Amino acid sequence: MNAVERLWRAIAARDWSGALAQFLPHAEVLWPHTGERMTAAEYVAVNRAYPGDWAIAIDRVVSAGEHVAVQLTVTDGDETHLCAGFYDLHQARIAGAIEIWVEPGSQEPPAYRR
């Protein structure tokens, strides 16, 4: 299992220290759909603060060396969010990531509650 799979399993389990441990200290996560650039700690804090009783399904993981892509479905009641994430690993930890989040059937990015 690679760092990306460990990351999403940790987030699904609300294991926030386990999620943060998957990142290198200077890693960044980009969300081009909102223009956000986060440190690993900020990224974990955003996920931790997301309200509701959501569940994560890891639909697909594709890896080629130190490059990993993941397709996720996050459900919370009647809401569904989809993610295509692309991660660069270095020394078996996440060095950087780009995640693109959408809602099914929408041409707009989901409204993130902060």
Fill in the DSSP letter of residue 16: H
Cβ burial of 23 (10 Å; 0-12, 13-18, 19+) is: buried
If one counts every other C-beta atom within 10 angstroms of the C-beta of residue 60, the result is 9
3-102 carries CATH number 3.30.70.20: no
Q: Note the pLDDT of residue 75.
A: 94
| 99, 29 contact by CB (below 8 A) | yes
Q: Note the pLDDT of residue 114.
A: 47
Q: Mean pLDDT throughout 65-94?
A: 95
pLDDT tens digit string along 35-74? 999 999 999 999 999 888 899 999 999 999 999 999 999 9
Model confidence pTM above 0.75? yes
| 10, 40 contact by CB (below 8 A) | no
Q: Note the pLDDT of residue 107.
A: 60
Q: Note the pLDDT of residue 37.
A: 96
Tokens 């569940």 correspond to 55
- Asked whether residue 105 carries a pLDDT value surpassing 90, the answer given is no
Residue 37 CA to residue 79 CA, distance in Å, equals: 25
Residue 21 CA to residue 78 CA, distance in Å, equals: 31
Q: Mean pLDDT throughout 20-39?
A: 95
